[in-house]
């Protein structure tokens, strides 16, 4: 059933985020959304959450299951869901501290906060979750290009962004996000977790780390673990299991045919399913000449 909308935006800037593709993606939603047959929504690679926020803003479903393997990102969602007022105060204080400083001191402050954030990655205590979430949001708004990238030790390593007046605390949007997360179960979990609860009343959207289409395409790592072709094949097995259960399932990924028309990796992997190619704009690239229109694939079992 469709509902009134508030145009809630992702609170994280996310490389590969689906904000620019949401109109194309929404045109391929199954009819079960409009008839109210979708009772459960699953998003196993949550990231910036653009698709979830759009759907939750437009449709009613009884339960959402949101999975994010990056613990810092999962914690940030959980804090927004359960402790929004304290988070806004914490983030607002960080924003005031940053905006009131000179550019030279801002850079020093950024690296201090980055070091503090990386220190939290080694701790297990839930007492640090509020501060950790606030620091993640602060770094996301002040780092270079809003990237989230970690090194082999799992440490955030994106440099300073030199923005003059970044919106560090968008209070209205954060409270709107909080509202849309109230019927969600948020977990730091592998994508296979969706098999525990998915059934024929479910819609599952997969937006995994994209398969690199060139030697430099995998410029960013969201976690210390690589998502290689074996993982893509494991995901295909889960996709097939969901299909067997009668769940409507959709998957996004890169299109290898952008660079090699003979590369049929996904066409072969998802042979027999409905595959569409969407036009996307490559926005995050240090070379402006390499920012342009490419295609991405959309796989559906309906």
| pLDDT tens-digit map of 171-214 | 999 999 999 999 999 999 999 999 999 999 999 999 999 999 86
What H or E segment, with its residue span, contains residue 202? Answer: strand 202-206
Least confidently predicted of 160-164, 229-233, 275-279: 160-164
Give dist(CA 194, CA 238) in Å, integer. Answer: 9
| Greatest CA separation for the chain | 59
pLDDT digits (tens, 9 = 90+) for 44-80: 999 999 999 999 999 999 999 999 999 999 999 999 9
Give dist(CA 109, CA 117) in Å, integer. Answer: 12
**Per-residue pLDDT band at 127 (split at 50, 70, 90):** confident
pLDDT above 70: residue 164: yes
pLDDT above 70: residue 279: yes
**Per-residue pLDDT band at 215 (split at 50, 70, 90):** low
**Per-residue pLDDT band at 231 (split at 50, 70, 90):** very high
The structural architecture, per CATH, of the domain 20-69+189-300 is 3-Layer(aba) Sandwich (3.40)
Give the chain's mean pLDDT.
Answer: 90
Domain ranges of the chain: 20-69+189-300, 78-172
pLDDT of residue 223: 55
pLDDT of residue 104: 86
**Per-residue pLDDT band at 288 (split at 50, 70, 90):** very low
Give dist(CA 66, CA 264) in Å, integer. Answer: 30
Give Cβ neighbours of residue 278 (< 8 Å, ≥ 6 apart): 21, 24, 25, 295, 296, 297, 298
Q: Residue 222, Cβ neighbours under 10 Å: how many?
A: 21
Select the more confidently predicted residue: 199 or 164.
Answer: 199
pLDDT of residue 284: 46
Topology of the domain comprising 78-172? Adenine-specific Methyltransferase; domain 2 (1.10.1020)
Give dist(CA 46, CA 26) in Å, integer. Answer: 17
Please check whether residue 299 is in contact with residue 27, taking contact to mean a CB–CB distance below 8 angstroms.
Answer: no
Give dist(CA 80, CA 181) in Å, integer. Answer: 8
Tell me the mean pLDDT in the region 132-160. Answer: 92
Q: Residue 188, Cβ neighbours under 10 Å: how many?
A: 16
Distances (CA, A) of 59 to 28, 48, 167, 222: 15, 19, 29, 29
Select the more confidently predicted residue: 74 or 225.
Answer: 74
Which of 13, 24, 23 minimizes the C-alpha distance to 298? 24
pLDDT above 80: residue 144: yes
> Across-strand partners of 65?
42, 185
Tell me the mean pLDDT in the region 227-243. Answer: 97
pLDDT above 50: residue 98: yes
pLDDT of residue 224: 55
pLDDT of residue 302: 97
Give percent of the chain with pLDDT exceeding 70: 90
């Amino acid at each position: 059933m469709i509902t009134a909308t508030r145009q809630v935006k992702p609170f994280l800037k996310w490389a590969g985020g689906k904000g620019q593709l949401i109109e194309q993606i929404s045109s391929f939603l199954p009819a079960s959304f409009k008839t109210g047959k979708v009772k459960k929504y699953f998003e196993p690679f949550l990231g910036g959450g653009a698709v979830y926020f759009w759907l939750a803003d437009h449709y009613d479903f009884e339960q959402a299951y949101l999975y994010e393997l990056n613990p810092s990102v999962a914690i940030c969602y959980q804090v927004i869901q359960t402790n929004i007022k304290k988070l806004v105060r914490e983030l607002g204080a960080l924003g005031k501290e940053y905006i009131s400083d000179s550019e030279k001191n801002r850079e020093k402050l950024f690296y201090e906060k980055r070091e503090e954030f990386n220190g939290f990655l080694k701790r297990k205590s839930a007492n640090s979750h509020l501060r950790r979430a606030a620091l993640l949001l602060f770094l996301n708004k002040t780092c270079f290009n809003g990237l989230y990238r970690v090194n082999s030790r799992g440490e955030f390593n994106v440099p300073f962004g030199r923005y003059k007046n970044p919106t560090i605390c968008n209070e209205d949007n954060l409270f709107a996000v909080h509202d849309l997360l109230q019927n969600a179960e948020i977990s730091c979990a592998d994508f296979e977790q969706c098999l525990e609860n998915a059934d024929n009343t479910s819609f599952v959207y997969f937006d995994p780390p994209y398969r690199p289409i060139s030697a430099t395409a995998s410029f960013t790592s969201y976690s210390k673990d690589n998502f290689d072709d074996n993982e893509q094949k494991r995901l295909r097995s889960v996709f097939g299991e969901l299909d067997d259960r009668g769940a409507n399932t959709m998957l996004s990924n890169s299109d290898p045919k952008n660079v090699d028309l003979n590369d049929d990796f996904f066409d072969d992997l998802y042979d027999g399913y409905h595959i569409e190619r969407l036009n996307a704009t490559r926005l995050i690239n240090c070379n402006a000449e390499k920012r342009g229109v490419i295609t991405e694939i959309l796989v559906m079992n309906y």
